[in-house]
Amino acid sequence: MAAEDVLGKKVLIAGWQCFWWEALQRLFAKEGWDYYALPLDLEPEAEGQLKFLEPLEIFRVQNIPIVMFSLGRTRMDGGEGKWLSELNELLALSHKYNVRHFFLLSSLRALPREGQTEPCSQSARLAEDTVLAWQKTSGLQVTILRTPEIYGTGETAREGLLGEWLQAAETGDVCTGFIDTEGQRDFLYVDDAVYGIYRAVARGYAGEPLNLMSGSAYTAAEALEAVRQATGKELTLAEGQEIFSRPLPKPEAAQKELGWSAKYALQEGLRLTVEGERALAKAQVEADKEQERKEKLRALKEKLIPYGENILGALLMALIAYWQDGSPVNPWIYFDVNFVYIGVMGLLYGKRQALLAMAFSSVILLVSLLLQGANAVALLYMPRHLLHFISYIFVAVATGYFADGRTYEREAAAWQASQAQERYDFLRSLYDENVAVKDKLYRQIVNSDDSIGRLYRIIRQLDSVATENIFTQAASVTAQVLAVEDIAVYVMGKGGYFLRQKVRMGRLAQARPHSLRVEDHAYLRNLVQEKSIYVNRELVKDTPDLAAPIVYQDEVIAVIEIFGMSFEQWSLYQQNLLSITTRLISSSMGRAYQYEAEVQERRYHAGTRVLKEPAFRAIIQELRDRRLLQGELEISVLRVDMTGLDYAAVDERCGRLIRNEDFMGELEGKVYLLLPDADESVKGMVQERLRSAGLITESDGTVV
C-alpha cells in the first residue's frame, strides 16, 4: 500500500502487554512488517517502580516510524497515574526521534455512558487528552483507536469480563454481578480487533478518534447465556456490584474509513475461544506429561548409567584377562589391570560403584585362579591370594572414600552457597526497602514547601551582581518562597522621599500606583524608620498585607510589598520567611552595589552616566526578563541626536531630567535612553523636557 511505502514497514507497540499482542504480532509478521514490543511492568509488589522492561535504545537503532501505546484495564485504573509519566516519556521519545504516527489503543471506557458527562474511566480519558495535547503542542501525528472489551483465547480474568466468566465456568467460582439489568455493552473478537488495528496502521489513518465496534450490543443476561452455551456449564452471579452498560458509539466510521467490519458474532467468537482454550489446556497437559516422562527418563538414566558403565568395565577386564592367558595380571609388567578398573569407578562414582567393581574383579580373579588349577578351599589359606583380594577392597574403599568426600564437600559448598544466597537476598530486600523509604522521604523533604533544598534552589536566583536583575529576581524569589502571586518592588529615590515601582507581579500589584510618597503613608514612615516588617493586622484599605524593607548600609534602598494573601498565610511563620528572604536580597544587593562601584569605569564612559555597550546590552536583557516575569512592562526607548555632542555633554544636559531608574547607554555607535514603566504620555513629557534642554530625541521601538 502507498501508506506503507511512506511510513516504512516497522511498528512498535508499548504499554500494558495484553493477550492479543501475540495475535497482532503474527498479523504484522504475515504482512511483512518488522514488529517490536516494549511492555510496561506494573506488578503490585513493584509499586512505584513502573518502567519499560526493554531498553529504549530501540528508537535510536531501529528508526521506528509508527508507535502504538495500549491501555490496560484493571492495571491502568489501579496504577494511581504512575503510568502517565511513561506515556509522556514514550511521546517525548516519539517526538525526539521523528516518529511519524503515534496510535493510542484506547477503550470505549474513555467515553461517558448515555445520559452522563463523566467518562467511564478517568484514566482512559486522561490518556487521550495527553496524546491530543502532545499533538497540539509538538505537531506529533496522533490517532486514537477505541475498542470495546477484546476477547479470545488467552484472555485472563484481569483483562476482561468474558475472561473472568470463562475462567469461572472452569473453576466453578462465583462471577461478578451487575446492578443494571437492561444495560448493554459490545464485545470484539481478537481476530477482528487486531485486523482493525492493522488496517488503521497500514492505511495511515489520521483523523478523529475511531471506534472499532462489532455493531452488536448485549445485556448481561445475553452475554451470560452465550458463555453458558459455549462452555456447556452453568455460571453463578454474585449480588449486583458493578454497572454493566458501556458507551455504544456507532461503528460506521470505521467501516467507512478502513473498509473494516467485525466478522465474528459473540456466540461464534466464544465458541472459538473455548475451543482454543481447551486445545491449549490439552496441549499443556500433554506437554506436562511429556516433560514428566523426560524427567523420569533422565533420572533413570542418571541412576543406571553408573551400573551400566561398571558392567562394561567388568566385561572389559574379563576380556583383558582372557587375552592375558586367563589372568588379570599382565605377565610383562606384573600389574593387575583390575586395580585401574576399581580405581576409576571409585573416583568417578564413589564407594558404592567401587565396591561393586571390587566384587566383579574378585570374581574375575577367582575364576582365573580356578582355571589355573587352584582349589577354592585352599585359596583361603594362601596369603598371597588373600592379600590380592584384600588389595581390591583397599583400592575400592580408598578411591570411593576420596570421591565421596569430594561429593560431600560439593554438597556442603552448594548448601553454604544456598544459605549465603538466602541471606544475601534477605539483606538485599531490606536494603531495597530502606532505599525506597529513603528516596520517598528524600522526595518529601526536598519537595516540601519549607525544605532547605527547595529554598536553596529558589535563593540561588539571587546569585547575581547586576542590580536590575536582583530587583527582578527579588519579586520572583519572594513569590516562590511565600507562595504568593501579587508582589510589588519599590525602589527608594534620592533623599528618601519617594518610592518608585520597579517590578510588579499579579493583578493586585498592577493596580498599585507607580510612585509612593513616604510621608503620605504611615506604614512606610514606620517601615523606613524602624527598618522592620509591616503587617497589616488592621486590614487597612489600599495597604499591602505584608511589607519588608531591603536595607543596604543601614539605609532602606527598596521595599517589597505583598498583596492578596490567603487566611492561612497570615502567620508568624510567613513573616519569618519574608524577613529571611529580604535579608538575603539585601545581601545580594550589597554585593551588586559593591561590584558596580568597583567596575564603574568599565561600565560607564568616563565621568558620565552613559553605559558602555556591553553593560547597556545587559540592562536591555534584564528588562526583557522582567517583562517576561511580570507579564507586561512598558519600556520607552529614545534615540539621542548626537550631532555636535559628546557623552559628557549628553550626560550634563540630561541632568535631573530623567529618573534614577532610567538608563543611558551606547548601542552600535548610538546613544539611547531607556525609560522603564513609561507610557506614551510620560515619554512625550520627557522628550519635551529634553528638547528644552537642547537635546533632540527620537522614539525607537527596535531596541527592546
- Residue 73: pLDDT band (50, 70, 90) is low
DSSP annotation of 53: S
> Which of 152-166, 190-204, 227-241, 661-675 has the largest mean confidence?
190-204
The mean pLDDT of 580-592, rounded to a whole number, is 79
What is the pLDDT, as a whole number, of residue 47? 40
- Residue 67: pLDDT band (50, 70, 90) is very high
Residue 387 has pLDDT above 60, yes or no: yes
More confident residue, 44 or 696: 696
Three-state secondary structure call for residue 249 = coil
What is the pLDDT, as a whole number, of residue 188? 93
Q: How far is Cα 50 from Cα 86, in angstroms, rounded to an integer?
A: 8
Q: How much of the chain, in percent, has pLDDT values that exceed 70? A: 87
186-212 pLDDT, tens digit per residue, is 999 999 999 999 999 998 898 899 999
- Residue 53: pLDDT band (50, 70, 90) is very low
What is the pLDDT, as a whole number, of residue 3? 43
Residue 55 has pLDDT above 60, yes or no: no
- Residue 481: pLDDT band (50, 70, 90) is confident
Q: How far is Cα 370 from Cα 232, in angstroms, rounded to an integer?
A: 78
Q: How far is Cα 660 from Cα 620, in angstroms, rounded to an integer?
A: 16
Amino acid letter for position 304 = L
Amino acid letter for position 670 = K
Residue 556: in which H helix or E strand, if any? strand 555-563
More confident residue, 67 or 405: 67
What is the pLDDT, as a whole number, of residue 520? 87
- Residue 468: pLDDT band (50, 70, 90) is confident
Residue 529: in which H helix or E strand, if any? helix 522-530
495-510 pLDDT, tens digit per residue, is 788 888 888 888 787 7
**Torsion sign over Cα 535, 537, 539, 540:** negative
Q: How far is Cα 52 from Cα 45, in angstroms, rounded to an integer?
A: 16
What is the pLDDT, as a whole number, of residue 44? 39
C-alpha cell at 297: 527418563
What is the pLDDT, as a whole number, of residue 371? 78
CB contact burial 114-124 (16+ within 10 A = b; e otherwise): eeeeebbbebb
Residue 41 has pLDDT above 60, yes or no: no
Among the residue ranges 45-54, 159-168, 485-494, 662-671, the one predicted with the least confidence is: 45-54
The mean pLDDT of 121-141, rounded to a whole number, is 87
* Cβ contact 682:637 at 8 Å: no
291-350 pLDDT, tens digit per residue, is 999 989 888 888 888 888 888 988 988 888 888 877 788 778 778 888 888 888 888 888
Computed on alpha carbons and rounded to an integer, the radius of gyration of the chain in Å comes to: 44
78-113 pLDDT, tens digit per residue, is 444 556 777 888 888 888 888 899 999 998 888 888
Report which of 149, 150, 145 is spatially closest to residue 199, judged by C-alpha positions: 145
Kindly give, in sequence order, each residue whose CB lies less than 8 Å from that of residue 322, ignoring residues fewer than 6 positions away: none
What is the pLDDT, as a whole number, of residue 190? 93
Tell me, yes or no, if the pTM score tops 0.75.
Answer: no
* Cβ contact 253:259 at 8 Å: no
More confident residue, 375 or 172: 172
What is the pLDDT, as a whole number, of residue 6? 41
421-459 pLDDT, tens digit per residue, is 888 888 888 887 777 777 666 655 555 555 555 566 666
Residue 286: in which H helix or E strand, if any? helix 266-323
What is the pLDDT, as a whole number, of residue 46? 39
What is the pLDDT, as a whole number, of residue 177? 74
Three-state secondary structure call for residue 273 = helix
**Partners of 175 in beta bridges:** 237
Q: How far is Cα 655 from Cα 612, in angstroms, rounded to an integer?
A: 18
Domains recognised in the chain with CATH numbers: 2-281 (3.40.50.720), 300-422 (no CATH), 454-598 (3.30.450.40), 607-699 (3.30.70.270)
The mean pLDDT of 623-646, rounded to a whole number, is 77
What is the pLDDT, as a whole number, of residue 271? 92
Would you give the end-to-end CA distance of the chain in angstroms?
54
* Cβ contact 35:13 at 8 Å: yes
Report which of 133, 7, 141, 127 is spatially closest to residue 73, judged by C-alpha positions: 127
Q: How far is Cα 265 from Cα 268, in angstroms, rounded to an integer?
A: 5
Residue 525 has pLDDT above 90, yes or no: no
The alpha carbon of residue 369 and the mean position of all alpha carbons in its chain are separated, in whole angstroms, by 83
The alpha carbon of residue 20 and the mean position of all alpha carbons in its chain are separated, in whole angstroms, by 24
Within 10 angstroms of residue 669's Cβ, the number of other Cβ atoms is: 7
**DSSP codes joined into one string, 418-440:** HHHHHHHHHHHHHHHHHHHHHHH
The mean pLDDT of 543-572, rounded to a whole number, is 84
Cβ-based burial of 218 (10 A; exposed 0-12, middle 13-18, buried ≥19): buried
- Residue 43: pLDDT band (50, 70, 90) is very low
Output the average pLDDT for the chain: 81
Among the residue ranges 40-44, 361-365, 647-651, 672-676, the one predicted with the least confidence is: 40-44
